[in-house]
Structure 1
Amino acid sequence: MNKLYPLKFNPILKERLWGGTKLAEQLHKPSTSDITGESWELSGVKGDVSEVSNGEFRGATLNELIERWGPELLGKSVIEQFGKEFPILIKFIDAKQDLSIQLHPNDELAKSRHNSFGKTEMWYIMDADEDANLIVGFNQPMTREKYIESIENKTLLQYMNYEKVEAGDTFFINTGKIHAIGAGVLLAEIQQTSDVTYRVYDFDRRDKDGNLRELHTDLALDAIDFKQKDDFKVKYERTANKINPMVSCPYFKTNFMELQSDLTQNTAERDSFTIYMCVEGRAEIANEAGSESIRNGETILLPANSKIITIQTSGCKLLEVVL
């Protein structure tokens, strides 16, 4: 019998120099800080492993569940590919100020330098102030030499590509792509399990102790993709009461679901866990072992051995993530 019911986890809140208050005010996170930048919803990152917040397994860590249930929780194919390390990190991010301009290494570099996965990620914009934007890629062809000169002369910003955003916009950020989340953006982030970031420009900001944050100029040089590419904004259907594919890559597949009524899925052949991030409204999500409510700003993990998943709602928007 399937004992693995829909699992919710305590958010892991992260103060950031650029953070704000929207995670508490809009997504109901238990934060009293005015610089909360991230809520890690589902994490297997060492030192920040998620703990169950509901039901029989309340207080157990994600890693303890994986150790006990293995393929029943993750899926046999997931175990074969990633072992017992949870391969996805799920976050909500509130940028009150611009994030640093940064990029992430690929799997090969991250493994050799940090014994980590690389960091491919995607963003779904939940809310954006008027004229809020992202930096994604370059606005012109770049060379290594021109890039180094722009870092030395602090002229990097003039080569950055700015994208104005609004709720519902979605972006796929592959490894090596230079990027930054702009001030006034609240988003959902789905990424490989990795906390490796190469920061290349930080607007000369200082932390609470008056120190400049570390830059990773040399490390970034071998990781950066200098090509100008228009490959980051995701076009996807938003048909109501349907499962609309958004992103499909080797590390995760994400679907968009705008539900105005109940939905039942037969997932008996799905050899993967399923994650739902609620980005608007509320719903009740169930498998054979139980049900759990979810509302805007919450995340639920369904085990791979769920044969039927039912979603009861009178109105919600969900991101469905599988491997």
Structure 2
Amino acid sequence: MELYPLLFTPILKDRIWGGTKLKTDLGKDIPTQTTGESWELSAVDGDVSVVSNGAYEGKALTELIETYPDALLGEKVHKQFGSKFPLLFKFLDAQQDLSIQVHPDDELAKKRHNSFGKTEMWYVMQADEGARIIVGFKEKSSPEEYVEHLDNKNLIEILNEVEVKKGDVFFLETGTIHAIGAGIVIAEIQQTSDITYRIYDWDRVDANGNSRELHVEQALDAMNYETTDTKKEYTNVINTANVMVDCPYFTTSYYPLTGEATEEKDGHSFNVYICTEGEYTFIAGGKEHQFKKGDTILVPAALKNYTLKGDATLLEICIKE
């Protein structure tokens, strides 16, 4: 395999709650004024990312994995997940509140949808004054209390609302009831899954007067009714990977780059870098590759030694366990 950092063509999604910040903040060529998501790196059926740079330009991610599984994924990751790319990377622009929702765990998702579950994390890239998210219950709840409040249209009264700012990190295990609030741009790292149980959508309708499908019954046994501690604190040591979230599905680190940093990896896992601020140069094999805010790159596992140079804020993601 030719080893270099792979960049992909964004898969842009129109959403009822979307806006224009993916263009104004991240430089994406959005097709509508309500573009809510940019899928940066995906192997979801029907939404497979295609390489946009270098020798493999035009090649689908799935095709490269089939051809070079160990070199791309890492032998350890390939053994664990087979030829399925295990993670999905997105940017989200919430001009309006997203629906209140929950994701099933691996066991339930496999049984119902033959899919992975959807453990995810959020890194807040931008937040308007007073913007907030919903994560979990204020106090321990129950299916009965949850349904009663849902029926009475006052579900929000028992949910935990948290005001957010740029740089905040939240880790959402499966079963955590949640919603991204209006006025927030988020980088999302999650398992490869598009399974969402939508519980409440603020009674809104689309341009044709139609409301979106809800999955109230399916959500009942997918929900964690305990309180959860979702916010993660992290260190800020320059030119190094400051771990924010470390779970069986992914390890995500905050990587503030100032000047130059050399990386030596063990080759067990691919690495992904999301640039949330600034710009940088990726140097490997005597070649330089330029990246900027809004770029998400996949570094093949077999590319073990490289240098990062510039002034940028990066998120580094790999699979450690």
TM-score range, shorter chain: over 0.9
Matched with 2:230 is: 232
Opposite residue 65 of structure 1, the aligned amino acid is: L
Count residues with an aligned counterpart: 319
Cα-to-partner distance string for 1:293-316 (whole Å, 9 max, x where unaligned): 111111011000012021011x10
* Counterpart pick for 2:296 among 299, 304, 310: 299
For the residues of structure 2 that align with 1:273 and 1:111, how far apart are their CA atoms?
25
Residues 14 and 34 in structure 2, CA contact (< 8 A), matched pair in contact too: yes
Structure 2 unmatched ranges of 5 or more? none
Secondary structure of the 1:245 match is strand
Opposite residue 20 of structure 2, the aligned amino acid is: T
Opposite residue 189 of structure 1, the aligned amino acid is: E
Q: Which moved more, 1:284-293 or 1:82-91?
A: 284-293
Superposed CA RMSD: 1.0
Residues 5 and 289 in structure 1, CA contact (< 8 A), matched pair in contact too: no
* 1:260 equivalenced with 2:258 (yes/no): yes
For the residues of structure 2 that align with 1:175 and 1:208, how far apart are their CA atoms?
32
For the residues of structure 1 that align with 2:216 and 2:76, how far apart are their CA atoms?
37
Deviation of 1:103 (Å): 0.6
Opposite residue 133 of structure 1, the aligned amino acid is: R
For the residues of structure 2 that align with 1:160 and 1:291, how far apart are their CA atoms?
48
Structure 1 unmatched ranges of 5 or more? none
Deviation of 1:91 (Å): 0.3
Matched with 1:18 is: 17
Residues 266 and 308 in structure 1, CA contact (< 8 A), matched pair in contact too: yes
Cα-to-partner distance string for 1:16-49 (whole Å, 9 max, x where unaligned): 0000000011100011411000000000000000
* Counterpart pick for 1:284 among 272, 281, 285: 281
For the residues of structure 2 that align with 1:289 and 1:158, how far apart are their CA atoms?
58
For the residues of structure 2 that align with 1:201 and 1:14, how far apart are their CA atoms?
21
Matched with 2:126 is: 127
Q: Which moved more, 1:169-178 or 1:240-249?
A: 240-249
For the residues of structure 1 that align with 2:55 and 2:239, how far apart are their CA atoms?
32
For the residues of structure 1 that align with 2:95 and 2:257, how far apart are their CA atoms?
30
Secondary structure of the 1:260 match is strand
What is the TM-score normalised by the length of structure 1?
Answer: 0.97
For the residues of structure 2 that align with 1:208 and 1:193, how far apart are their CA atoms?
30
For the residues of structure 2 that align with 1:207 and 1:81, how far apart are their CA atoms?
41
Residues 21 and 185 in structure 2, CA contact (< 8 A), matched pair in contact too: yes
Matched with 1:141 is: 140
Secondary structure of the 2:54 match is coil
Matched with 2:7 is: 8
* Counterpart pick for 1:312 among 297, 309, 312: 309
Aligned-residue identity in percent? 52
Deviation of 1:285 (Å): 1.3
What is the TM-score normalised by the length of structure 2?
Answer: 0.98
For the residues of structure 2 that align with 1:289 and 1:121, how far apart are their CA atoms?
36
Secondary structure of the 2:182 match is coil
* Stretches (4+) displaced over 4 A: none
Deviation of 1:287 (Å): 2.8
For the residues of structure 2 that align with 1:174 and 1:208, how far apart are their CA atoms?
34
